[in-house]
Every structure is written in C-alpha cells, then in structure tokens.
C-alpha cells in the first residue's frame, strides 16, 4: 500500500514537472542580463560618477578659505643689533632662540578660471571612463548575440533531426507490418533502421553542442538556463533603427578633455589674487626689539604672477593639437571601418531576403515529393534508399528555411549594433 502511494506521488510530481512551462528568453533579455552580470557594468559607472563628484568637490574647495597652522622653534647665531655706539647699548634686541605659533588664512579672489578648467577636465575624464565601459558592454552584447543565434540554429537543427527520426520511426512501423506480410524484403526495413541510428548519433553531438552553448549563455547572463530553454526570434521591426555606437561618444568626450586641457593651459599664465591674514603668538612678535612673548597679526592682499614660462604653454598647446589630431584620425578610421562593415551587412541582408522566398518554395516542393514517396514506400514501389534520399532532401530544405531566417535576423542584429550614428 505504501509503495502504491509512493508511485502515485512520484507520478504526480513527474506530471507537474512535465506540465511546467519551459524557460523562454529573448535576445533583449539576454542583453540586459549580460550587462548586469558583466563585472564592469552600471554599478561601475555609478562608482565613477561618485568618484567624479568627490573630485569636483575637492576642486571647488579652492574657492573656500584655506587655513594653515604652523609652529617653529629656532636658534640662530646672531640677531639684528647695534654695536659700537655706546649711547645705544641699552636698546633691547631679539633673542637668539625664537618661538612662533600661528594661523594663516588665504582666500582666493581671482584665479583666471583655473578652478573652472580643472572641473571641466575632471568631468571629461569621468565621461571617458564611463564611455570606455559602454564600449566594452557593446562588445559583450555583440558576443551574446553570436551565442544566441548559434544556439538558435543548433536548436532548429535538433528540431529537424527529431522530426526526421519521428518520420523514420513511422516508416519503420509501416515496414514492419509489410515485412511480416512478405510484401517487402527485410533489407528495406534495415536500411531505414540504419538511417535512423545515424541520425540519432548525429543528434548526440548536437545535444552536447547545445548544452555547451546554453552553459555559455548562462555564464554571460548570470542565469541558470536548463536544457529545455526556448529562444524567441527577435522582432525584425524592432531592429530597424540602429543604436548609436558608444565609440562615437567616446571620441567626443576625448575631444572635450583636450579642450578642457587647452583652457587650463591658457589660464596658467594669468595672475592669481588672494587675500590673506596671519595671527600668531611667539617670541619675538613683529617687534624685533622686544625679548618677550607677544601676539601679532597681519592682513593683506597677495598677487602671484609668472609672466614668463619659457614657452611651456606654447609647447603644451602644440602637444594638445597633436592629441586632437590623433583622436580625429582614430575617429575617421573607426567611421570608415563602420561604413565598410555596414555595407557588408547590408549585402548579407539583401541576400537573405532573396533566398527566403526560394527556400520556402523548395521546402514546399520537397514536402510534396516526400509525401508521394511515403505512399510509394508503403506500397513497395520504391526502395528504402530512395525514400531516405527524399526525406533527407526535405529535412535539409526545412532546415535551410530556418538557417536563412536566422541568418537574416542575425544580420539585422549586427547592423543594429554596428551601424548606429548620431
């Protein structure tokens, strides 16, 4: 009784598992998951943004009062004094051991926009770092797409082989009865059986290849896909408007960084004006004729200007010109390669479009031929070898329809990821 309940329970569990819907995933979902799972992702960009904000706050502190506290104790071999004049021998003089403790405050009043230029450099640098990650994420999306479509093709091939095996199993059942009735020779049955075993052997390799591809897709997306995974074909309509290549924004940010460097280089020769104040306590104070501890203070305005820099700014500008030219050359080379790749992909798309109608017609005709051969095989008017040839031709025609369709969609995705411009 217990064993009976156990088997009933096991049967119900198997039925539940069998009735559960298979995993289904789209290419867009794989892109999103791969982006989130990649070590350098949106979280990395958030860290870069946080770091940039912190650096900008540090740069802005240049406009806040700067406080410096200092202390010193010294001994010197001589101090200012008057000698050789008897009437002034009683004038006090500063001690040779001196002590100072004080606070100095500096407030920048004008810096020629140097702080603003440094802020622009920091912003551009942060944008470059983030855009470099976007470039890598685009490569991840491209790689995931290649895996996705390879898996889609292998899955279609597996489906066609399974349909072919089902067809051969149906023929074997029919031929078994015909062999028993003596209508056909047993050799015909064995020819079909051998072909079925060959297909099953090929199916083993396809299954293993499919498992490996599912494992690779799981690795990139951080998912746990099982062997029952179903892949949805991408919507061709949604792939008509390509996304802008992240490399183009990277070039733009690199140019912005160069211009920010140029702005800073321009203001390095501008004067800097600052207000300052000193407050201290020491021996001596500002009165060098008093040998005693005293407080002292001073306020004023300070100007700092370097009118001659030995042509450093000019050479920096020449260097920046060279860097800008190099960035422009890289962009031109990239756009030329992008145009070449787009032309090649467009040719592939056109080729696939022209093939699809032909493939559909061929598959339709092969289906008709196979149906006729199926009846003739049952009646014993053709050999098993002839039927195998027909059914293999039909299977290949069906597979070719799917290969062309998947290739067409894959080319659309490549163009979607490759040809985007501003």
Find the domain containing 380 and state its range. 23-75+106-270+305-418
Report the CATH number that the domain containing residue 185 is assigned in CATH: 1.20.1600.10
Q: How many domains would you assign to the chain?
A: 1
Is pTM beyond 0.85? Reply is: no
* 314 CB neighbour count, 10 Å cutoff: 11
Is residue 48 assigned to a domain?
yes
- In the 8-state DSSP scheme, what is residue 237? G
Largest CA distance in the chain: 152
CA distances from 213 to 153, 208, 369, 403 (A): 11, 9, 35, 17
Is residue 139 assigned to a domain?
yes
> What is the three-state SS of 294-343?
EEEEEEEEEEECCCCCCCHHHHHHHHHHHHHHHHHHHHHHHHHHHHHHHH
Whole-angstrom distance, CA of residue 201 vs CA of residue 229: 22
Whole-angstrom distance, CA of residue 404 vs CA of residue 149: 12
Is residue 155 assigned to a domain?
yes
Whole-angstrom distance, CA of residue 324 vs CA of residue 255: 6
Is residue 42 assigned to a domain?
yes
Whole-angstrom distance, CA of residue 269 vs CA of residue 266: 7
Is residue 406 assigned to a domain?
yes
Cβ(353)–Cβ(404) under 8 Å? no
236-266 in b/e form (b: 16+ CB < 10 A) is eeebeebeebbbbbbbbbbbbbbbbbbbbbb
* 117 CB neighbour count, 10 Å cutoff: 22
DSSP string, 78-107: ------S-GGGTTS----SEEEEEEEEEEE
Is residue 275 assigned to a domain?
no
What does the pLDDT read at residue 19?
43
**Mutual angle of helices 384-418 and 186-221, in 10-degree steps:** 20
Q: Provide the CA 108 distance to its chain's centre, in angstroms.
A: 42
Per-residue pLDDT of the chain (422 residues; tens, 9 = 90+): 545 554 454 444 444 444 445 688 999 999 999 999 999 988 999 999 999 999 999 999 999 999 999 999 999 888 877 666 665 566 777 888 999 999 999 999 999 899 999 999 999 999 999 999 999 999 999 999 999 999 999 999 999 999 999 999 999 998 888 888 777 888 889 999 999 999 999 999 999 999 999 999 999 999 999 988 999 999 988 888 888 999 999 999 999 999 999 999 999 889 999 999 999 999 988 888 788 899 999 999 999 998 888 888 899 999 999 999 999 999 999 999 999 999 999 999 999 999 999 999 999 999 999 999 999 988 888 899 999 999 999 999 999 999 999 999 999 999 999 998 87
Is residue 14 assigned to a domain?
no
What does the pLDDT read at residue 86?
62
Q: Is the dihedral of CA 230, 34, 31, 404 positive or negative?
A: negative
Count of residues making up the chain: 422
């Amino acid at each position: 009784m217990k064993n009976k309940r156990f088997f009933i329970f096991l049967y119900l569990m198997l039925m539940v598992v069998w009735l559960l819907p298979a995993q289904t995933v789209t290419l867009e979902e794989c892109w999103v998951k791969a982006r989130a799972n990649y070590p350098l992702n949106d979280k990395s960009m958030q860290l870069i943004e946080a770091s940039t904000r912190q650096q900008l706050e540090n740069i802005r502190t240049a406009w806040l009062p700067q406080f410096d506290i200092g202390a010193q104790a010294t001994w010197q071999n001589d101090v200012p004094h008057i000698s050789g004049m008897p009437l002034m021998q009683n004038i006090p003089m500063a001690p040779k051991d001196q002590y100072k403790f004080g606070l100095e405050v500096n407030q920048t009043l004008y810096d020629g926009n140097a702080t603003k230029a440094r802020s622009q450099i920091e912003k551009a640098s942060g944008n470059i770092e983030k855009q470099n990650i976007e470039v890598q994420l685009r490569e991840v999306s491209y790689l995931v797409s290649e895996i996705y479509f390879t898996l889609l093709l292998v899955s279609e091939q597996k489906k066609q082989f399974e349909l072919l095996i089902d067809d051969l199993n149906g023929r074997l059942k029919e031929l078994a009865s015909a062999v028993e009735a003596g209508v056909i020779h047993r050799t015909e049955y064995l020819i079909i059986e051998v072909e079925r075993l060959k297909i099953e052997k090929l199916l083993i390799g396809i299954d293993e290849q499919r498992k490996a591809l599912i494992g690779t897709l799981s690795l990139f997306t951080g998912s746990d896909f099982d062997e029952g995974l179903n892949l949805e074909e991408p919507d061709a309509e949604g792939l008509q408007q390509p996304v802008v290549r992240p490399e183009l924004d990277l070039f733009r940010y690199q140019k912005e960084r160069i211009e920010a460097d140029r702005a800073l280089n321009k203001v390095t020769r501008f004067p800097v004006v600052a207000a300052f104040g000193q407050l201290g306590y020491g021996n001596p104070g500002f009165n060098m004729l008093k040998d005693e501890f005293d407080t002292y203070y001073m306020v004023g305005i300070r100007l700092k200007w370097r009118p001659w820099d030995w042509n450093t700014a000019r050479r920096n500008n020449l260097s920046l010109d060279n860097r800008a030219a190099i960035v422009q050359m890289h962009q031109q080379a990239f756009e030329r390669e992008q145009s070449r790749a787009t032309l090649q992909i467009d040719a592939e798309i056109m080729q696939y479009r022209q093939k699809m109608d032909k493939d559909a017609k061929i598959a339709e005709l092969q289906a008709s031929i196979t149906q006729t051969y199926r009846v003739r095989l049952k009646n014993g008017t053709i050999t098993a070898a002839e039927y195998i040839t027909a059914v293999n031709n039909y299977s290949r025609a069906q597979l070719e329809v799917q290969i062309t369709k998947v290739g067409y969609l894959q080319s659309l995705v490549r163009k979607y990821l490759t040809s985007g411009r501003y």
